Amino acid sequence: MPARRGGGLCAALTASALALAGCFAAPPAPSEDSGERIGLAMLLPPRSGLTPFSDDAFKLSRWNTAETLVVLDADGDAQPGLATRWERVDGRTWRFDIRDGVRFHDGTGLTAEHVAAALTAATKASPKPRILDGVELTARADGNAVLVGTADVDPLVPQRLSSPQLSILAPAAYGADGVVNPVRAGTGPFVLTAVDGSSGATLDRFDGYWGEPAAASGIDVDFVPDGTARAAALRTGTADVVEAIPVSQVELLDEALVHEVPMPRTNTLYLNTEHGPFADPAVRAAAREAIDRATLVARVYEGRADEARGLLGPALPWAAPGRSEGAYATALARRAQPAPVAGVPITLGTFTDRAELPEVAVLLEQQLEAAGFVVTQDVREYSFIESDALAGAFDAFILSRATVLDSGDPVAYMFSDFACAGSFNIAQLCDPAVDAALREAAAIEAGPQRRAAIMRAEAAVLATDAAVPMLHERVIQGEAAGVAGVARDPRERELITSASTVSGDQR
């Protein structure tokens, strides 16, 4: 039997005097099986008992143990998962045909009734899955199909059902008290057999999988919050795949083992359009022109980020081509010309929870002061600064913002941050052209037309200079020599796949 390497990870790193916050007793060794097992070091332990209704769902998805009705391709378009096809019955109802021959890990056969019950359980969860914020969703079986209804017209229902927070688990997983236990309850190529609290988890290959069987015999997961320890696990060979390697550790690693994945996350300077100096579009334009993105990327991110050309970055492959359209350039041509600035005082806020942001603030202060602004910084923990930022207490605010939320679509982020009624409108922006562009995009079903409308909305936002995108972040993933078939997913939904393998001679 191939040796389980997860417990060895903690032991080896402890022996090296590395502080490991996630190392405890190893999960039980799996049963005898053919093939190599994959050792996986992950950043964060479960926060909510691996319930699919929380962000823990993304672990279940990255382990390929829990599945959804729909999956997304690189463009964010819906593709078959546990549902083989779907159609819009009317403005508020969708019909999803359920795949035949699927079995849960406990042996139960998947039915439309099980799917409807799982989706209904999500709607009754407290708190509800984030993907259902503001959505009244119903589900009922109709033969071998499920009818999904919404209170309002929603063209993104298939994309919503791709969220790992709406994974379909076996009926036995859902307790009467609302607690959900995903052990031996998924439908994926790997069955979750054991979870050892905040230490680790064990998954074995599921031989009854409906799709392509897993090449590896299992996954041994260790939760390793310490970034130095995760990097050491890759360097010493005690883990095969490692999440989120800190930039500071990359120089210590073999370059061939390091893979950078663009994230749908943009580091943006929000400018207060309601009051203060930046209520003047020409002063906002002066701030926009003052920013040297290349210096921020080189000095803070050591070159491991992408200079921003818009709100949406390379994690969305269709965004850059969309900027070549004539309507995009026409919108940007309406931006104000920069005004001369001399001794204009501004307050610049950001938070400490993301280590790079205070460094960005220091460089940004220098760039803005070189342009004639006088900058006073206010840097606090996020929990102590968010309410002030949302209330418009700052002239400028630096934020690292996810631009694609759980539906795989950026309209929700853009509406939240830039619409008059947006709930996260730090820029205090209320612009009729922006609202009109966002309404247009929101009404279109996913596909090329919606993507084109999204880019028009991006241009409308940028034309106001309410937000100055600076850079797009990347996540750094480690893969040992001999590892193949591991997903490099900007949305961080996939990681270990059916095709993932590790060569035994690399151990």
Closest CA to 464 of 272, 302, 305: 272
pLDDT tens column, 143-201: 999 999 999 999 999 999 999 999 999 999 999 888 999 999 999 999 999 999 889 99
Two structure tokens written together for 421: 């009624």
The sign of the dihedral angle between the CA atoms of 17, 21, 27, 29 is negative
180 strand-pairing partners:
174
Residues of 125-164 as b/e, b for ≥16 C-beta within 10 angstroms? beebbebbeebebebbbeeebbbbbbeeebbbbbbbbbbb
Two structure tokens written together for 498: 């059916």
Whether residue 20 is predicted with pLDDT greater than 50 in this model: the reply is: no
pLDDT at position 35 is 62
- Look at 87-96, 231-240, 474-483, 498-507 and tell me which has the smallest mean pLDDT: 498-507
Whole-angstrom distance, CA of residue 340 vs CA of residue 371: 9
Q: How does strand 467-479 pair with strand 305-307?
A: antiparallel
Whole-angstrom distance, CA of residue 234 vs CA of residue 291: 37
pLDDT at position 11 is 42
What number is the average pLDDT over the span 303-324? 95
87 strand-pairing partners:
95
Q: Which domains does the chain show, CATH number per domain?
A: 1-65+188-254+481-507 (3.40.190.10), 66-178 (3.90.76.10), 262-473 (3.10.105.10)
Q: Around Cβ 309, how many Cβ atoms within 10 Å?
A: 15
Whether residue 275 is predicted with pLDDT greater than 90 in this model: the reply is: yes
Whether residue 421 is predicted with pLDDT greater than 50 in this model: the reply is: yes
pLDDT at position 23 is 40
Whether residue 227 is predicted with pLDDT greater than 70 in this model: the reply is: yes
Whether residue 216 is predicted with pLDDT greater than 70 in this model: the reply is: yes
Contact indicator for 116, 141 with CB cutoff of 8 Å: yes
Q: What percent of the chain has pLDDT over 90?
A: 79
Contact indicator for 27, 201 with CB cutoff of 8 Å: yes
pLDDT at position 9 is 52
Whether residue 295 is predicted with pLDDT greater than 90 in this model: the reply is: yes
Q: How confident is the model at residue 438 (pLDDT cuts 50, 70, 90)?
A: very high
Share the mean pLDDT of the chain: 90
Whether residue 434 is predicted with pLDDT greater than 70 in this model: the reply is: yes
Strands (E), 275-329: 305-307
Q: What is the pTM of this model?
A: 0.83
Q: What percent of the chain has pLDDT over 70?
A: 92
pLDDT tens column, 35-67: 699 999 998 899 888 999 988 999 999 999 999
Q: How confident is the model at residue 15 (pLDDT cuts 50, 70, 90)?
A: very low
Whole-angstrom distance, CA of residue 60 vs CA of residue 166: 11
pLDDT at position 491 is 87
pLDDT tens column, 360-399: 999 999 999 999 999 999 999 998 999 999 999 999 999 9
Contact indicator for 125, 56 with CB cutoff of 8 Å: no
What number is the average pLDDT over the span 129-153? 93
